[in-house]
Structures are given as structure tokens and as C-alpha cells.
Amino acid sequence: MLKHHESNQRIEWVDQAKGLAILGICLFHFFQNYPERTHLVSLLDRNGARIGFAAVDLFFVLAGVNVSLSLVKMINKDNINWISWLKKRLTRLYITYWLSIVVTLIITFIWGEIKLQSGLDFLRIILGFPGYRLYQQINPGFWFFSVILQFYLIVPLLFTLTQYRFERILGFGLLAGLVVKVLCWWIVPTQSYWHGFFWQHHFIGSYLFEACLGIYWGFIYSRQQKFRAMDWCLTLILLGVGITLYGWQAALGREVFYMLGFNITFSPFFFLGSYWLCKTLGQKPLMNPVMKLFSILGQQSYQIYLIHQPLFFVWFRFWRSQINLTTLGGLSLTLVVTIILLSLYVWLFIRLESWLRNQIKFL
């Protein structure tokens, strides 16, 4: 019999880890979209990309953890209703996503560069499978919705195929992740559209290992309320393998892409490291305000991911004409003002989303 975390309260370290991840992603996108490509900005962009990739992997491990925690109690009682489970999650996903489409189109209209070419393009966006071209033209953050949607849709099949055995789910995820990496390394041409498809975006296969790892570790945490010494040992071994391979490729003078395999070796460490960091800092009274902030960011991380980039596009275009962005002072001021605007923007979006959900319940 599995032990379930009975509290209806949110698990703080999960929210805090999400908060760390979304903060890293927003900073990466800030420097990625900053209008002036100074040496400092380019340096921060390159290193921020590594943080951004790691943060996305962390999101998918945490998504798996949340799925596992939501299912353990029902598995114990042998009363899983997959239709009800999917309905609850897809409703939450789509309401926020559709509202983000409206907000994005309004902002993009103000920016003056809406590039939808047909009604079919708009239909694909509404359904949640817009494809890479439309991601880039409308809102790059929409890819995240598409892959999370794919993950939720395959969860019932995943549990059924593995006969509800969590260790089998982990094995399936590892095998699927390795297959995708083999495709990227040796089979699919680098210049091909499908290389980008398998490498990142569009496809849950690129993140299936992380999601299945999260499902497995969610089961472990639900049963023991902690992670085992074995989990830490295997994680450190994987990290060592990843660092060795990474260094070997770099020594050969090859351009190293994190997502082409190293994420499988690094993601477990990022997750357990975030868990340890959040639990450790959470025990220090002086860090309470900071950890509370991370919790708030984590609770709204899905909304932030979907809506933050269009604001950057519009804001940077306007702000560029107001101050000199090439100086360190200009960069610092832009970062501070962007944080203020983004905070207000997210707050207004969340209030609007809450109102919309209440109206839907009323109807």
C-alpha cells in the first residue's frame, strides 16, 4: 500500500523550485531579447541559455512529480477515472492558454506585427498545436503549453502500458529519451526541420525522461516524504558521466548542445539540488521573505511562462527610443523597470484569469 501525502496544502518546496525555474527562464529571455547586443549582454545571453534549458527540464520533472502526487491516492483506492482526471487538468490548462492567446494578440496588435496567414493558423493555435513557425510569430511561450498538453494526454496510456508500476515508467522514460537523443546525434540531419523537432519544442519525447523521472520520484516522495540515499548516489553518478562527456566533446572542439543528451545526465541533479536548496533555505528565518516570493512565483509559473515574452517584445521596442541601452546603467535600469512592469502585468493577468474562471463556473 502506498503512503499518500494527505495534506491538501501545496508542497512548499515544489512551488519554490518552480519559482526558481521561472525566474531563471525570465532572466534568460530578458537577455535573449534585449535590443542592444553588447558584449556583456551576449555573454549573459549565452550563459542564460544554459540556465534556461536547465530550468525547463526542472519544470518537466516537477510536472511529473505533481502528476504522481495527484494519482497515488487514487491508485491506492483503485478508483482512477482517467476522463475526470484529464478533464480537470485540461480545463485548467486551456482556460489560461486561451486567455493568454487573447492577451498576446492584443499586445502583438499594438506592436503592429501580427503574422497569422490563414484561419487554419489561428485554429492550430486555439487547439494548442501551432508548430514552430507560429510559436515564433505569435508567442514563443506557447510551445510549453503544447508539450505539457501532450504529456497529460499520454499519462493514462503510460500508466496502462506499465501496469501502474512506477519503476517501469522511469525505465520507459529513459528508453524514450535515449531514442530521441540517438535520432538527434546520428540519424536526423542537423539542417533538417525534424532535428529541431526532436531536439526541443513541439514534442514531449524531448522531455519524456524528465517527466517520467518526476513521476517516479513523486511516488518515492509520497511514500517516504523525502528522497533516498540511493537517489542521491545515482544522481551524482549520472552527473559525473554528463560532465565527462561534456568535457570530452568540448576538448574535441565540437559545439556542445545541452539538449542533445546531456540533459538526461544533468536533470536529476538539477531537481534534487533544487529540492535541497529550497528545503535548506526554508529552514532559515532570514530567508522566509525570499522563499515566500519563490513560492508565489512557482504558483503562477505556468501563467508567467505563457505571457511574459510578448511584453518583452513590445516594451523593449518602446524603451529603446527612450534611453541609451548600450551602457551598464541603461541595462540595469531596463532590468529594474522590466521587473516592475512584468509584476504588474502578471498580477493583472491573474486577476483577469480568476474572474474568467468564476464566470465559467457560474455558467
Distance CA(34)–CA(41), nearest Å, equals 8
Distance CA(349)–CA(140), nearest Å, equals 18
* Overall residue count recorded for the chain in this entry: 363
* H/E segment holding residue 93: helix 82-111
| 3-class DSSP state of 259 | helix
| 3-class DSSP state of 37 | coil
Contact 71, 159 (CB under 8 A): yes
Residue 338 burial (C-beta neighbours within 10 Å; 0-12, 13-18, 19+) = buried
Distance CA(110)–CA(97), nearest Å, equals 20
Grid cell at residue 307:
505571457
Grid cell at residue 263:
540533459
Instruction: Supply the pLDDT for residue 187.
Output: 80
> pLDDT of the chain along its 363 residues, tens only?
344 444 446 899 999 999 999 999 999 999 999 999 899 999 888 888 888 888 999 999 999 999 998 888 777 666 788 999 999 999 999 999 999 999 998 888 777 666 667 778 788 888 887 666 677 778 888 989 999 999 999 999 999 999 889 999 999 999 988 888 888 777 877 777 676 666 666 688 889 999 999 999 999 999 889 999 999 999 999 999 988 988 887 788 776 666 666 788 999 999 999 999 999 999 999 999 999 999 999 999 999 999 999 999 889 988 988 899 999 999 999 999 999 999 999 999 999 999 999 888 765
Q: How many CB atoms lie within 10 A of CB 363?
A: 5
Q: How far is CA 28 from CA 158, 239, 318, in A?
A: 33, 23, 20
In this prediction the pTM is 0.90
Conformation bin of residue 128: beta by default, left when phi > 0, alpha when psi is -120 to 50: left
Contact 344, 141 (CB under 8 A): no
What residues have CB less than 8 Å from 342, skipping those under 6 apart? 26, 308, 311
Contact 193, 203 (CB under 8 A): no
Alpha carbon of residue 51 to chain centroid? 12
Residue 160 burial (C-beta neighbours within 10 Å; 0-12, 13-18, 19+) = exposed
136-141 — which CB contacts under 8 Å span 24+ positions?
Answer: 138/104, 138/105, 138/108, 138/114, 139/100, 139/101, 139/104, 139/108, 139/306, 139/307, 139/309, 139/310, 140/309, 141/100, 141/305, 141/306, 141/307, 141/308, 141/309
| 3-class DSSP state of 284 | coil
Grid cell at residue 108:
502583438
Instruction: Supply the pLDDT for residue 255.
Output: 67
Residue range 110-168, pLDDT digits in tens: 776 666 677 787 888 888 876 666 777 788 889 899 999 999 999 999 999 998 899 99
Instruction: Supply the pLDDT for residue 132.
Output: 63
Residue with cell 520520484: 217
Residue 137 burial (C-beta neighbours within 10 Å; 0-12, 13-18, 19+) = middle
Distance CA(115)–CA(104), nearest Å, equals 12
Instruction: Supply the pLDDT for residue 362.
Output: 66
Contact 207, 197 (CB under 8 A): no
Distance CA(220)–CA(226), nearest Å, equals 7
* Closest alpha carbon to 110 in 280, 294, 292, 314: 314
* Closest alpha carbon to 17 in 307, 295, 306, 303: 295
Conformation bin of residue 131: beta by default, left when phi > 0, alpha when psi is -120 to 50: left
Residue range 283-313, pLDDT digits in tens: 999 999 999 999 999 999 999 999 999 999 8
